[in-house]
Structures are given as structure tokens and as C-alpha cells.
Amino acid sequence: MDQDLRASWDRLCDTLKESADYVFDPKLGVDASEQAEGLRHHLRMLYLALDRTLENNDPQHPELGWTYPSKFGQDNPDGLYQTAPVDLSRPYRLTGRIDTVRYLGVSILNFVSGRGGITQQLNVGTPDLTDIGGGRINVVFSPEPDPGDHVGDWYQVEPEFSRLLVRQFFSDWAAESHAELYLECLDPDGPPARLDSVRTAALIDEVANEINTVPKFWTDYAVGYRDRGEMHTFEHIHGKVSGEGLGGSDQQAYGGCWFEVGPDEALLLEVTPPNCLYWNIQVGDTWFQSLDYINLPTTMNDSQACLDPDGVLRVVISHQDPGIQNWIALGGCPQGVLTYRWNNADSAPVPTVGLLPVSEVQNHLHPDTPRLSADERAALDAERRRHALRRFTR
């Protein structure tokens, strides 16, 4: 028996047990239901770490796939996230059709949340990528310069081991579908070999390292809004915040704040959205993961919302359905983070947020606010579920 291999396995099992202590920290102020979600989030992060480390981790034979659910770092409910390992001392080509989705972004970054920060050396998206015909792209990432005859896009990159991240954002869930993409290393040494004990031990240690740092990092980040007093307000945000150091895109402006909403309370968010390619507003929990967007309207984007005649977006965020179109459901989640995204926008307006009793919501809405009956809501939710699940069909 290989003692080093067994020792790495034992370290992973011990780390998995001890690394969840933060979920039960009384300072978080969460109840048993939130702790249950915290443990689910912790195991989801283990699932993601296993996928990135032991499965899709061969840079000479990358697989640009996705993991479902991918819930961490206030993941976008309109999104489909794909990653693959890259060794940028070698050239890579990304091809496919991308005109079936509202926004597609490509980043080259590392994934070291909680271990020194995330660095990015490339961040491009739909407006930058060349359509070579039929909505298709032909993108090369190489340590060498463009030879001058390439049809498409050529990005000269620094040689390093990193990961390619593709963000696909869907605005009209019914009409849009995910892009068909293929990533290939252009000069692999040969077919992949079987794992050996030395490499496997190192990979298991890396999984243990991730599960010991990343879930708590995102929880601390989320609770930081609360600890700084940034509750029910975005007044702490000035101008465009891209969040690149956290893996965000410089093509987006982000904003976040903490919320605490009781069963008979509601938040009213008001903003005039900017001219942009796409926008989104969502809620997430203490663990900085999106809420259930498959079965509940826990997010709203530019295709789903209705602006009032004065051009203002008014959104009610509550546990109870107020009977209007612009509702974001909390689904019993008592606290967490409220986030907005403006994608490729000409400005970065900061919304206002107010907490009020549910009984007073109607007094603060525009007279022409679209109403929804219970049957209409049920029909919308059923349609939402169908289209959300279609997005993740492999």
C-alpha cells in the first residue's frame, strides 16, 4: 500500500470534517435551516473541487464543460459557467457558435479564492469577439504573436498554468440557448495517461486545500456587507465596481448589500437601468450562493421585468407574493446578499432600497404596475422551470 496516497486520503477526510466548523459559528447568526443550506453549500464546493481537480484538470486535453449546480460567489441565475484547464505555454483554439445567447464572456484566470486573490490576464466578451460568419468564432490563445493570417481573434498570452472561464448569460430564457463551443490544445504531447499515486496524492491534497478555504472565504465575503453596516443600501458603491479581484468581469458593473427581511416585510428596489447589453438583479444567501432560481423567481433581468411609464424599475423583494410582475422571491431565506449587474453599460446607476411592511407595498408602486393573479404566477413559474432546466441539458 502506498502510505503517501493513504495519508492524503486521510487528510482530505479530516479536513472535510473540520472545514465546516464555520457553518455552526454563532457569530453568523443563522438558524438550523440556514445551517442546513450551509452544509449543502459546503458539499457543493467539494463537488466543484473534485470536478476541477480530479476530473477536468488535464490542460493538454481540456474539456470545456459545466458543473450543475455551480453555486458559489453569488453565481448568476441567468448564467451558465464553463471552465477548463490551460497551460498557456501551449496554444489553444476556441471555436463555436455564440449568437444564440445574449452575452458570452471569456476570461483566463486562476481559481484561488481565499488563497491570495484571483488574477486575470484576459477578459473579453461578446462585443469584442469577431463573428467569422454565421455567428461563429475562431479564437486562438497563444504565447506567440498573431502571424497575421488568422481569421478570427488571436490573443497573445503570458505562459502560465491557469483556467479558461466562459460565462454565458441568458436574458430571454425561452428564446436563447447555450453556445456550441469546442476548446482544444493545438500541440498536446499525446493521449492522457492513467493516474499515478504521486499525482493522485497531490490532487487529493489540492481538493482538501480548496474545501478548507474557498467555502468560508465566500461566506466571510458575504457577511462582510453586514459587518460593515451595508444593509438595505447601496450607498457605499461609487461608480463602476467590476470585481475582477474576485473573478468578476470588467465588462460588468456590480453592486451588493446585505438584507434581512422578515415574513411580513419587503424590500423595494428602485432604479432607472442604464443602456446596456444585459442587466440582472438577484438575491443570495449567507453562503453567497444564488437561491432556488429553477422553481422560484429569485432573480430578474431585462427580459423578465417591466419598467414603469416613468422609466423606473421598481422591484419588490419579499417572502410573500405581492401579486405583481416585478417580484423577486426570497423563498424563506431570512438574510443574505442583494446583487445587481449592469453588463456592457454606458453608466453604472446605483439603486435605492427601502424596507417596509408588505401591507404598505402597494402604496409605493406606480399606478400602472402590472398585476399577476395566482394562476398567472403559477404558469410563469412552470415556464421558468422548463427553460431553466433546458439550459443545463448536456
Q: What is the pLDDT of residues 4-51, one digit of tens each?
A: 999 999 999 999 999 999 999 999 999 999 999 999 999 999 999 999
Mean pLDDT across the stretch 120-136?
94
Interatomic CA distance for residues 58 and 242, integer angstroms: 30
Residues written for the chain: 394
Is 244 or 388 the better-scoring residue by pLDDT?
388
The domain locations on the chain are 225-391
Quick check: 110 pLDDT over 90?
A: no
Mean pLDDT across the stretch 131-159?
97
Is 80 or 119 the better-scoring residue by pLDDT?
80
Enumerate the β-bridge partners of residue 265.
Answer: 357
What tens digit of pLDDT does each residue of 368-381 get? 999 999 999 999 99
What is residue 67's predicted lDDT score, i.e. its pLDDT?
A: 87
Give the CA angle between residues 20, 25, 26 to the nearest 5°.
155
Per DSSP, the three-state class of 90 is: coil
Write out the three cell numbers for 129.
Answer: 469577439
Whether 125 and 104 have beta carbons less than 8 Å apart is answered as: yes
Give the CA angle between residues 136, 175, 274 to the nearest 5°.
85
Quick check: 113 pLDDT over 60?
A: no
Whether 52 and 65 have beta carbons less than 8 Å apart is answered as: no
Question: By mean pLDDT, which of 141-145, 198-202, 247-251 is the weakest?
Answer: 247-251
- DSSP label of 54: I
What is residue 116's predicted lDDT score, i.e. its pLDDT?
A: 56
**Cα 366 versus chain centre, distance:** 32
What tens digit of pLDDT does each residue of 302-357 get? 999 999 999 999 999 999 999 999 999 999 999 999 999 999 999 999 999 999 99
What is residue 385's predicted lDDT score, i.e. its pLDDT?
A: 96
What tens digit of pLDDT does each residue of 159-202 get? 999 999 999 999 999 999 999 999 999 999 999 989 999 999 99
Q: Tell me the CATH architecture of domain 225-391.
A: Sandwich (2.60)
What is residue 366's predicted lDDT score, i.e. its pLDDT?
A: 97
What is residue 239's predicted lDDT score, i.e. its pLDDT?
A: 80
